[in-house]
Amino acid sequence: MHPELHGNRAQSLAEATIAPGGRTRTHRHRRSEELYYFLRGRGRLHIDGETAAVAAGDTALIPAGSWHHVINDGEEDLVILCCCSPAYAHADTELPTSDNGGEG
């Protein structure tokens, strides 16, 4: 769900699936904070050099400006609902010059 498509105003909602052994690219959003709600699977969430184990039923806050990525270290798909406020925008997403970004 995104304002450009559905008429909502202040946030976006997307579902992401990460296959076993996969990961997202390290990135950050300058303006948007994100809530990740883990629907299925397990993995590790990395935020600004800190790592937390995550599993179905967990929720995590990713503050605006924080470098982050998720690794699926489980044996099934890791499925996440990603809520951004303000709504996700490509122009607000920054990729590091190397894949470790601000995470050292």
The overall average pLDDT reported for the chain is 90
Q: Where are the domains of the chain?
A: 3-97
Query: What CATH number does the domain located at 3-97 have?
Result: 2.60.120.10
Q: How many helices (H) and strands (E) does the chain have?
A: 1, 9
- Return the closest-CA partner of residue 82 out of 43, 39, 41, 47: 39
pLDDT band at 104 (very low <50, low <70, confident <90, very high): very low
SS3 assignment, position 103: helix
pLDDT of residue 88: 85
pLDDT > 90 fraction of the chain, expressed in percent and rounded: 76
Query: How far apart are alpha carbons 11 and 55 in whole angstroms?
Result: 24
Pairing mode, if any, of strands 33-40 and 50-55? unpaired
pLDDT for 4 equals 61
Residue 44's DSSP bridge partners are 53, 71
Q: What is the rounded radius of gyration, in angstroms, for the C-alpha atoms of the chain?
A: 13
Average pLDDT over residues 90-100: 82
Residue 23 predicted with pLDDT over 70 = yes
pLDDT at 10: 77
The residues that bridge with 38 in the sheet, in sequence order, are: 80
